[in-house]
Amino acid sequence: MSRWTNADVGRALAALEAELPAAIELRHELHSHPDLSGSEGPTTLRLLDALDATGSPDVHGGRVVRIGGDGPAIGLRAELDALPLVEQTGLPWASTNGASHACGHDVHMAALVAVVRALRSVDAPLPVVAVLQPREEAVPSGAADLVRSQALLSESVGAMIGVHVQPRLAAGTFSSMAGAVNASSDDFRIVLRAMGGHAGYPHVTGDPVLAASEVVVSVQALVSRRVSPLNPAVVTVGSIHAGHAPNVIPDVAVLEGTIRTFDSADRKLLGSKLRQVVERAAAVHDCSAEFVLNAGEPPLINDGPLANATERWIGSLTARVPVDLRSCGSDDFSYYGEMCPSVMVFYGLGDAELSTPGLHHPAFAPGDDEVRGIAECLLAGYFAGCELLLGAPADT
């Protein structure tokens, strides 16, 4: 089949509707038994059972499950891992194991299962590949490992679709805009060392605390004075550890943080300039310096034609309103875009004042109705991928 008619789309939506009660039950099960990054085995087995694909081989801790015949396929991604947070939602099916799906991954997984099962039950024009991805919240990136494994290429995945809940967007909205929508994210670690000593005799010591303070202040000028004000970029020092007593200048100070940019030249420049800031601050305060920069995920870039088609299909299937969203957040879904056209859809569920708990908060938990909404957006992305790969728009 090269096109879908309105009747075909209606059958797919009816099949999806039939899958939703079981998907919501699955969501409760996944939410109450979350697995941390790198230990997602039990979650993976629950999903494989729901997909009737228990024989699928392990791929770097994840799975690539093809449903359909030969030829090019559409990949749908769901993340498997939870966060190391003690849940505070009060839900009857809340986690009690010290981990929490505080980023909505339980909803993503349940919606993916519903869509894949629905597409399997109708005469879909192209195969679908369920990409069960580990380690979205931790290093090493599960997406990077899946891409490098060639497992997606071996299944002829020609387009990738992801959907992520986003409480920064109002309920009833979504964003699938083309271009760069998330920043790259690189981690850095700085260790400053000196011979410390008595707080009353700072002139005979080095001072890693003072050097660390100078670094924290100076890095803010890197963005304001070295990057074009038209280019989003941010350098954040998120962790500082030094000393144990008020009257002792310590020997060591350790700083950790991130560099986030949308532009590859800015990414390179900020890493180089940060190293210079560290080395100069260390020299002034008689310290030695170690600087380690770990390259993380690249910018997340939504493919233009696929993004436009996805927006049109979401508008056709739902009453959701498209809005624009770019942020200096990051997601390793960006690695899929280096392999094939890809689109990340941000799914709004915030209130007008955005006063409810947000992503990564222990009280964050989308309602069960969002399983349907996420599933509809995934299905819309699938239809858009069919347009892209078949070369002809479907009837809507």
DSSP 109-177: HHHHHHHHHHHHTTT-SS-EEEEEE--SSSSSPHHHHHHHTTHHHHTTEEEEEEEEEEEEEETTEEE--
Beta strand extents in the chain (DSSP E only): 63-67, 73-79, 128-133, 157-170, 173-175, 179-182, 184-193, 197-198, 233-242, 248-249, 252-261, 288-294, 300-302, 321-322, 342-350
User: Which residue ranges of the chain lie beneath pLDDT 70?
Assistant: 1-3, 352-355, 392-396
Each residue of 24-63: pLDDT tens digit?
Answer: 999 999 999 999 999 999 999 999 999 999 999 999 999 9
Count the domains in the chain: 2
Q: How many residues does the chain have?
A: 396
Q: Which amino acid is at 32?
A: S
Same domain, 176 and 264: no
Same domain, 279 and 305: no
Same domain, 286 and 260: yes
d(CA 137, CA 333): 11
Segment holding 359, helix H or strand E: none
Indicate whether 120 belongs to any domain: yes
d(CA 177, CA 121): 30
d(CA 201, CA 270): 36
Same domain, 173 and 232: no
CATH number at residue 173: 3.40.630.10
Is 121 exposed, middle or buried, given 0-12, 13-18 or 19+ CB atoms closer than 10 A? Answer: middle
Indicate whether 145 belongs to any domain: yes
Same domain, 214 and 110: no
d(CA 298, CA 260): 9
Same domain, 224 and 284: yes
Same domain, 320 and 284: no
Indicate whether 378 belongs to any domain: yes
Return the pLDDT at 1.
42
Return the pLDDT at 114.
98
Q: Tokens 């869509």 — which residue?
A: 115
Indicate whether 396 belongs to any domain: no
Indicate whether 395 belongs to any domain: no
Same domain, 97 and 235: no
- C-beta of residue 106 within 8 angstroms of C-beta of residue 112: no
Domain-ending residue, one of 294, 316, 344: 294
Same domain, 360 and 277: no
Indicate whether 336 belongs to any domain: yes
Q: 272: which residues sit within 8 A by CB, 6+ positions away?
A: none
Same domain, 36 and 167: yes
Is 100 exposed, middle or buried, given 0-12, 13-18 or 19+ CB atoms closer than 10 A? Answer: buried
Same domain, 71 and 210: no
Return the pLDDT at 5.
76
Its domain, for residue 211, covers 184-294
Return the pLDDT at 356.
79
For residue 217, count other CB atoms closer than 10 A to its CB: 12
Q: Tokens 């399997």 — which residue?
A: 120
Same domain, 26 and 101: yes
Domain-ending residue, one of 294, 322, 354: 294
Indicate whether 175 belongs to any domain: yes
CATH number at residue 218: 3.30.70.360
Indicate whether 1 belongs to any domain: no
Each residue of 139-190: pLDDT tens digit?
Answer: 899 999 999 999 999 999 999 999 999 999 999 999 999 999 999 999 999 9
Reported pTM: 0.92
Domain-ending residue, one of 247, 277, 294: 294
d(CA 143, CA 331): 9
